[in-house]
Amino acid sequence: NAGVTQTPKFQVLKTGQSMTLQCAQDMNHEYMSWYRQDPGMGLRLIHYSVGAGITDQGEVPNGYNVSRSTTEDFPLRLLSAAPSQTSVYFCASRTTGTNQETQYFGPGTRLLVL
């Protein structure tokens, strides 16, 4: 049981380049989400999904796209990277049952946009 995995661990992009951050979980969790972590600001929700085929926007969705074709995978796409997207990105998952509110986080992807 690997939990939540993320790749890559670190990436450098030039402004305007595109890339996909990968996230996978093997716990059969329905709910998955992406957060970004910036200094002094805690974590902010980018997008989330309550199941395969269902996604929705979080607090800071601009510049990011997501899709959820399987229960296991929830990739985050940057179509045209900007320096403001330099951050650490965390993927998380949880079940959607009542009182099952603990979210499990991946190790993070550190992204630098030049």
Q: Which of 11, 17, 52, 58 binds other proteins (CB under 8 A)?
A: 58
Rule CB under 8 A: say whether 26 interacts with other proteins.
no
Rule CB under 8 A: say whether 70 interacts with other proteins.
no
Rule CB under 8 A: say whether 71 interacts with other proteins.
no
Interacting residues with other proteins between 84 and 113 (CB under 8 A): 90, 92, 96, 99, 101-108
Give the span between the Cα atoms of 51 and 26, in whole angstroms. Answer: 14
